[in-house]
Chains A and B, each alone.
Chain A
Amino acid sequence: MHKTKNFLPTFLILLAITILLIILSKSGILNGPTSFLEKGTVPIQRVAFGILTNHDESSGIEKLRVENSKLISELVKQKELVRENQALRDQFQTSNPALRKLIPSKVIGQKIDKIIIDKGFDDGVEKGDSVVYKDNLVGKISKSSAHISIVDLPMNKNIFFTAKILDSSTQGVVKGNENGIILDNVVLSEKIKKGEIVVTKGNIDEDDKGFPPNLVVGKVVSVNKKASSLFQTAEIKSLVDFSKIETVFVIIR
C-alpha cells in the first residue's frame, strides 16, 4: 500500500525532471555533459555495430561494386571536364566555388532510411551538410549532437532535391519514399533511358547547405511514363550499397 500511495508523486517528479532535462538540452546548457557522455557511448556503439553487421568488403561482388562505382565516378568527372572546357572556351573564366572540406566519418548505426555517423557539431558537422562516398551521394545530415549525427539517406521521405540525367541534362526532382529513390517531375517530352546516370543539379543555399552539383545519385532502373500524366517518373538505384557502407565523408565549408 505504501507503493500505491507513492506512485503518483514519483511519476510527477520523473515528469518534472524529464521536462527540465528537455528544456536544458534544447537550450544547449547540457551540451557539455552530453558531449562527455557521448564520448563514452560512441565507442560502445561503434563496437556493437561492427559486431552486429560483420561487414566483409573482401568479397568479389563487393570489390566489383566498388570498382563499378569508381568507374562511374570517373565518367562523371570526365563528362563534367568536357563541359567545363567548353564553358571555359566560351567565357574564358569560371566561377570559383567556395572551398570545401571533407570530414571522414565511421558509420556506427544503420536504419532503413538513415545512418548514424560518429561525427557531430564538435567536429564541425551541422544539420543540412551533405554526406558523400567517393562521388556518390549518401545523404544529408538531419540531426547533429556533439559527437554523432543522423544522415537521411536518399530513400528517406524527408529528402528531395533537384537532379539531372548526366547525358541529356534532363532535369527532375529526386524524392525518397518507402519504395526507394524516385526521379519525379520530369516533363513527358524528355526521354529517359534505363541505365542512365542521375546526378545532383546542385542546390547550395545562402548558408552553404545543400547538395553540391554532380554527385552521383544512382542509375535509372525503370521509367514510368503515362500519356495522361503531366510528368514521368523514374526509379533510381544508388550505386552505393548503404547496408555495407562503413566510412562516409561529410562536406563542410
Chain B
Amino acid sequence: MFYIFFAILSIAILLEGTLTSLPLVFICLLCYLIVMKKPFVFYTAFFGGMVLDLFVARTLGSTFIYFLLFFYLVLLYRKKYEIDSYPFVLVTTFVGSYLYGLIYKSSNGLALAGISSAIAVLLFAILKLKFGVQNSRSNFNT
C-alpha cells in the first residue's frame, strides 16, 4: 500500500512542482489520511511538503505547516462525525484547496478547488476500492 501511495505522491510532487497549480500533494495526503488513518501520513506530509517547498521556492516548512494544521482539524472533526464518506472528502478538499490557493496565491482559486474536489473523490474511490478503509478503530486520536 505504502509503495503505491509513495509512487502517487512522487508523481503529484513532480506535477505540482513543475506544471500545475492544483494542490495535488495536498489531495493525495488528505485521501491517504482518510483511508488509512495512520500517523505516518504526517511524516510523509513533512517529506512531501519540504520537497514541494524546494521545487517552488517557498520558505522551508511553510507548506507542511498548512498540511499539519489542516489534517489536525480533519482529525478533530473525526471525533464527532464519520469522515470516510464522499461528501466529506468533497467538501474538505474544496475548502482545503481553496484556502491553499488563497495562502499560496494561486489564481482561479474557485475553479482549482472544484477540480481538486473531483480529483480527490476519484482518488478516494480508487483507494477505498483497492484497500478499503483500514484501521477505522485502531488508529490515533486527537
Contact = CB atoms under 8 A, between A and B. Distances in A.
Interface of A: 3-4, 6-8, 10-11, 14-15, 17-19, 21-22, 24-26, 30, 34, 37-38, 41, 44-45, 48-49, 52-53, 108-113, 116, 120, 143-145, 148-150, 156-158, 178
B68 interface: yes
Nearest to A110: B19
Contacts of B107: 112-113, 156-157, 178
B79 to A, nearest CB: 12
Interface residues of B, number: 34
A11 B57 contact: no
B15 interface: yes
7 contacts: A10-B39, A15-B69, A22-B65, A41-B55, A45-B55, A116-B56, A148-B57
Contact of A145 (B14, B51, B57, B108): B57
A21 B60 contact: yes
Nearest to B72: A11
Contacts of B42: 10-11, 14
B54 A25 contact: no
Given A22-B61, A52-B19, A178 B54 contact: no
B39 A45 contact: no
A156 B106 CA distance: 9
Nearest to A49: B18
Contacts of B39: 3, 6-7, 10
Contacts of A108: 18
B10 to A, nearest CB: 10
